[in-house]
Amino acid sequence: MTLVVKILTAAAIVCLLLWGAFLALGAQPLKENSSLTVIYGEDEDFYADAEVYQKVRNDTLLFVHLPRARQAYRWWAIDFLNATIAPIPSPRSLGSRKYLLRGGQEGPAIGNTNVQEKWSWRFTETGTAFSGNGFMCSVTKSKSK
């Protein structure tokens, strides 16, 4: 083997070890999900530029990024399995990759009686919709061809 091949092989092994350590320490990488359509708005302005992420190997818990919403309403966790919706702090980033750390990153669910604001929400077979405090969001599953 030439010196260049040895260096490249060693670099690849180091990268794999660093990635394994990153995952072992509790990082949960997020991948983009394009199977949902999200429309959201505040007051009279509506947008369709949301980004949807999911944890790797988990398609029932989705993370929705609403870039033009107020700061408190920018990131949401939507759990279709347990029918819950909760605001979350923004995930961490490593370059263009987003990830969560294990632990309680979710805020109180909007159905929680301790939440002061009044919210309404509904889950159906095709998606969910929730609104409150001048904010509205509709998440629908795209029809597969």
Q: Which helix (H) or strand (E) holds 9?
A: helix 3-24
Q: What pTM was computed for the model?
A: 0.71
pLDDT band at 49 (very low <50, low <70, confident <90, very high): very high
- Tens digit of each residue's pLDDT (9 = 90 or more) over 92-118: 766 666 766 565 455 556 655 455 568
Domain ranges of the chain: 30-141
- Tens digit of each residue's pLDDT (9 = 90 or more) over 66-100: 999 888 889 898 888 888 888 888 777 666 667 66
As a whole number, the mean pLDDT across the chain is: 79
CB 100 within 8 A of CB 30: yes
